[in-house]
Amino acid sequence: MAASGSVSSSVPRVLTLWCPEWPAHAVPSPEGPLIVLDQHRVVAACADAREAGVRTGDRRRAALRACPNATVVPRDYLAEVQAFERVVSSVAEIIPLVELLEPGSLCFDMRGPARYFGGEDSVVEHVRSVVERQLGADISIGIGVADGRAASAIAARRSGVSLRPVIVEPGRTAAAFITMNLRWLHAIGEMSIELVELLDRLGIRTVGDLAALSERDVLARFGLPGVRAYRVATGTDERPLSSVAPSQLPERERRFDEPVLSVTPVVFSARELASALVQELAIDGLVCTRMTVAAETEHSERTERHWYRSEGFTAAAIVDRVRWQLDAWINEPSAVSAGVIVLRISVTAVRPDDGVQEGFWGGASEADGRANRAVARLVTLCGPEGVRVPLPIGGRLPEDRYGWVSTAVVDRDHHVDALAPWPGSVVRPAPVIVPTHEVSIEVLNDRGESVGVSGRGEMTSEPVSVVIGGRSRRVVAWAGPWPLIERWWDERRRRRLARLQVVLEDGSAHLLAVEHQRWHLMGTHG
């Protein structure tokens, strides 16, 4: 797709390369179809699974319903980076300043390469031929060229669908994408899904609808996130560039007294460097969006990669990129023959820190920051597979709402609300204390008889007291019951129960459940 006309633009021309199903290509191919999950949702699948009806964003159950014979594997970021390293290296041989966006995607400024190769079309052909030599022609890739990173990313994704390069002429971004749904901006990380849904309810559904508004009105109603999306829609692309000169940007280096033969100590040192860089930028109200990570061995072997992240790098995100890069480096055949003696992290681009508007309840806090730093330190000591963190995975019952997941498959800087909606779950707030094993209890009426729930979901009598751990306490207030039937089609996993909320005379509140005519404690509120 190339728009007609030529309008000058001050926004830099960018080429983005995107491999649509890279998480599936990075793992060993099993027998039959393959599905890759991240946080219990489909992020990639092989061609056979796609033909069977598997879609990105599907939950595991929906994906397996569409393709029952598929092999399901969790996303492995380290394997993706290692497999993508050969693509990055081959492109870097002809284009020096290549930026890694994520495993399976990279970009670079077209200004220099277009002059050297004699035009953007020539650059696209060179890049496509280089990548196809590394991956083979059977792996689809998307190549997009447009004004700015965001428009280039959209063009690359459209190229991945059409299977041919998409080049948008300078100054024609708004015209080229005017009919596209705003969910494309969410797909490339330029807009939250909450903002997309809000705009949709207001009747603003396409890029053209958003571009037709006034920037002042967008700022007044939707704040800085809305303005950022508006600039992408109008072709002016990203936030204003910082006035900080490159020579003034911070850099941190660690030289080791003895060559380090393991990745873990190097990553541990990277954590200290990253924290210092982030703190230094925060003092000036800045956040790093582009950085260079370089490491060198005592035999002068060297790795250097440029990383970009539109929302900015936190200390944990920097440490993750360092680990990915080093793991990919040392796994290259004959790439490293000695220990690392130098690690250098350089900030190469910054933007003003827009900050985050916190709600009255929930949201990130300083406690979350301390927890992330503690997890990062444990990862450097024990490795990503040795540390597990609780992650919301969704469910109707308290014990189903969270699961323990390896940090290797979790992005600690992004949180997915998997807790809603779940029809049939008890309204929030959820219990904060959930027993790890079944706690049997008794719910009694005024005659000392056990209270039950009929097949119609009605209480057989009013609960008067609850016996927990041999101690009886009077019921002050109660609500329910709420019947629940789950997985009725599965002989082994189906459940039928009823839940009851009670407040006892000592002020404690509990969520109870009766199943197979037996009561047990599901959770305690506070």
Q: What is the DSSP string of 205-246?
A: -BHHHHHTS-HHHHHHHHHHHHHHHHHHHHT--SSPPP---G
Global pTM? 0.57
How far apart (Å, rounded) are the C-alpha atoms in residues 69 and 75?
19
Can you name the residues that pair with 483 across neighbouring β-strands?
A: 498
Q: What is the pLDDT of residue 414?
A: 47
pLDDT of residue 355: 54
In sign, the C-alpha dihedral spanning 417, 418, 423, 428 is: negative
The position carrying tokens 């599907």 is 58
CA 334 – CA 202 distance, rounded (Å): 57
DSSP 332-374: STTS--S-EEEEEEEEEEEEE-------SSSS--HHHHHHHHH
Reply yes or no: is the peptide bond before residue 225 cis, omega within 30 of 0.
no
In this structure, are residues 35 and 67 in contact, taking their beta carbons and an 8 Å threshold?
yes
Q: Which residues contact 244 (CB under 8 A, 6 or more apart)?
A: 286, 350
Q: Which two tokens stand for residue 214?
A: 């006034």
DSSP helix/strand/coil, 374: helix
CB 229, CB 184: distance < 8 Å: no
Question: What are the tokens at 447?
Answer: 């005659």
Per-residue pLDDT, 409? 55
The whole-angstrom separation of Cα 26 and Cα 23 is 5
Q: At what angle do helices 77-92 and 120-135 cross, to 10 degrees?
A: 130
Q: What is the mean pLDDT of each run of 10 residues along the chain (526 residues)?
A: 40 86 81 83 85 84 87 83 83 82 84 88 89 82 85 85 84 77 74 80 85 85 81 65 54 90 86 88 83 90 85 85 86 82 89 55 54 67 71 74 67 49 71 82 88 85 88 88 83 85 88 88 83
Q: Are 259 and 215 in contact (CB under 8 A)?
A: no
| Tokens 């480096």 -> residue | 329
CATH number of 246-352: 3.30.1490.100
**CATH 3.30.70.270 given to domain 13-29+32-234:** yes
Q: Give Cβ neighbours of residue 283 (< 8 Å, ≥ 6 apart).
A: none
Tell me if domain 13-29+32-234 and domain 246-352 are identical in fold. no
CB 519 within 8 A of CB 475: no
Q: Residue 241's pLDDT is what?
A: 37
Domain positions in the chain are: 13-29+32-234, 246-352, 376-409, 439-525
At CA 328, angle to CA 158 and CA 145, rounded to 5?
A: 20
